[in-house]
Amino acid sequence: MSYNLLKGKRGIIFGALDANSIAWKTAERVHEEGGTFVLTNAPIALRMGEIKELAKKTGSEVIPADATSMEDLENLVEKSMEILGGKIDFVLHSIGMSVNVRKGNHYTSQNYDYTHKGWDISAVSFHKTMSVLYNKDAMTEWGSIIALTYMAAQRVFPDYNDMADNKAYLESIARSFGYFFGKDKKVRVNTISQSPTPTTAGQGVKGFDGFIAYAEKMSPLGNATAEDCANYTIAMFSDLTKRVTLQNLYNDGGFSNMGVSDAVMDTFVGE
């Protein structure tokens, strides 16, 4: 169902890889709600993914950008404004990568070059993106910037590894930069903390199926899907959430406020 919530709005969507990714689902929903946008991802992800198909479907252009490169980000923002014909109303940062996870390094024995690289891609890239948008005065008043995060930033999920630290840093950047973006430009910055979701990126984490099953049993409404996250993001991009900023917003079926559930207890206690 479309409500025309984003009619006339322009944006940039980072991180659409394939039809499972939250960024991909968000792009489809933005298109349905009347928004136009530029799609971007790292050159290697563009080769691996199916983003051209999404671009065709949504009438969008694709601009390759390494989100850790200021030069690439400046080019991305300038070109996006040219293509879209004006300033930017919304941005989705949906990027995360841990080389330590990929290489199977345990949290207690990281390769710190890998740690630094993952931190740069997953967290600092959000600061760099906002820095370019801020210094180029590229956002419209009441624009909305969203980054996707996960609850491992607050609580221990042992196999989430150094991505937990990256997400904690990402959330802090959202608050700190969000203050300046709000005060100086009337732009809001928030993070959405999503249920574990079976995306291509998420499935790289050891024991991920267990995360999903446990969260499903723990959450009164069950896990939020990628589609649910896309819909929440649309609400945050719309004019209906104008005064919401500096927030870490849980889209997790209630998981974050649960201590234990009947369904989880039943697993441990015989009938």
Q: Is 134 a catalytic residue?
A: no
Instruction: Please identify which of the residues 112, 114, 134, 160 carries the catalytic annotation.
Output: 160
How far CA 170 is from CA of 16, 128, 178, in Å, comes to: 19, 11, 12
Tokens encoding 138 = 């590229």
Do the annotations mark residue 167 as ligand-binding?
A: yes
Helix 22-32 crosses helix 51-58 at what angle (to 10 degrees)? 10
Do the annotations mark residue 59 as ligand-binding?
A: no
Tokens encoding 77 = 């923002």
Centre a 10 Å sphere on the Cβ of residue 33 and count the other Cβ atoms it contains: 19
Do the annotations mark residue 15 as ligand-binding?
A: yes
Centre a 10 Å sphere on the Cβ of residue 8 and count the other Cβ atoms it contains: 10
How is the beta sheet containing 61-64 ordered, strand by strand?
61-64, 36-41, 10-14, 88-93, 139-149, 188-194, 248-251
Do the annotations mark residue 21 as ligand-binding?
A: yes
Q: Quote the DSSP letter at residue 110.
A: -
Do the annotations mark residue 95 as ligand-binding?
A: yes
SS (H, E, C) 14-79: ECCCCCCCHHHHHHHHHHHCCCEEEEEECHHHHHHCCHHHHHHHHCCEEEECCCCCHHHHHHHHHH
Instruction: Please identify which of the residues 150, 214, 232, 250 carries the catalytic annotation.
Output: 150
Q: Is 150 a catalytic residue?
A: yes
Give the residue ranges of the annotated binding site for NAD(+): 15, 21-22, 95, 167
Give the residue ranges of the annotated binding site: 15, 21-22, 95, 167
- Catalytic residue numbers? 150, 160
